Amino acid sequence: MLQYLITHFSDFQLACIGTFILHESVFFLSGFPFIFLERRGYLSKYKIQAKTNTPAAQEKCITRLLLYHFFVNFPVMLLSYPVFKFMGMRSSLPLPSWYFQEHMLLGKLLTSEHILFQRTVNVTSVVIACVLAVPDYILLSGFRYATPFGLTSEYAHPAEILFLGFATIVGPAITGPHLMTLWLWMVFRVLETVEAHSGYHFPWSPSNFIPLYGGSDFHDYHHRLLYTKSGNYSSTFVYMDWLFGTDTGYRKLKALTTAEADGKRM
């Protein structure tokens, strides 16, 4: 497959157009099922919040996502190609070893949840939005959903999208890996964040098996605090929330919920 791609397409086409197509495919194909589940009411016993989004709210999200992806993300990808080449990214054979890719992906994952950076992103995005007088976006909460579904994971102001997109690709750009490593990292991050915003907590959710993994149940609390944004910033590993004490409210709520459930069983 890779041999076919590098034979028929240039590095520029693969790094920019190929990456964009891959991102859009993975993002929308993994996000649409949660819209279907919510509208049909299937698997409602696994839904974290009883509240549901209206079809109009979901369609508004999809429309803005398409606009932002094609008119913000895609141009930025095209303009970023010289930077990637300068950093040493390549698409040619041979592929890096699985050992190298696994350790690189794990390192990026463990360092991608830095709360201070996420807080900086939030504050910076608000400042930019206010300066530009963006309609209906005085606070980030104006672009948030209190009841998230998969596609809301990338529903934000373009300024925030740019900052978060930078955070996602800066690691691969600096380390100068193979394009395949970037693609693997991007696919993983898209699937991870869609799951975290799905609004569902299934028995097979990763947080049930992976220690310190937040997932949908943990991150959903962040969206329920729509106007305060006072906790649960992480969507993958939660160690930074624990270190900074930003998960206190969530822990108290879980303790109360568990106590109430135990009381009903007695």
> Residue 117: is its pLDDT beyond 80?
no
Question: Using 50, 70 and 90 to split pLDDT, how confident is the model at 136?
Answer: very low
CA 54 – CA 52 distance, rounded (Å):
7
CA 236 – CA 30 distance, rounded (Å):
17
- List the structure tokens of 47: 């839904």
pTM for the full model? 0.80
CA atoms 67, 201, 106, 100: torsion sign: negative
pLDDT tens-digit series, residues 23-73: 999 999 999 999 999 999 899 999 999 888 999 999 999 999 999 999 988
**Quick one: average pLDDT of 70-91?**
83
- List the structure tokens of 49: 């919040």
Name the DSSP class of 15: I
Task: Write down the pLDDT at residue 166.
Answer: 64
Domain boundaries of the chain, sorted by first residue: 2-200
> Residue 211: is its pLDDT beyond 80?
yes
> Residue 22: is its pLDDT beyond 80?
yes
Task: Write down the pLDDT at residue 167.
Answer: 59
Query: Which helix H or strand E contains 225, and what residues bound it?
Result: none
Helix, strand, coil: what percent of the chain each, to 5? 70, 0, 30
Q: Which residues contact 246 (CB under 8 A, 6 or more apart)?
A: 115, 230, 231, 232, 233
pLDDT tens-digit series, residues 223-266: 887 655 667 887 788 888 888 888 888 888 888 887 776 666 66
> What percentage of the chain reaches a pLDDT higher than 90?
27
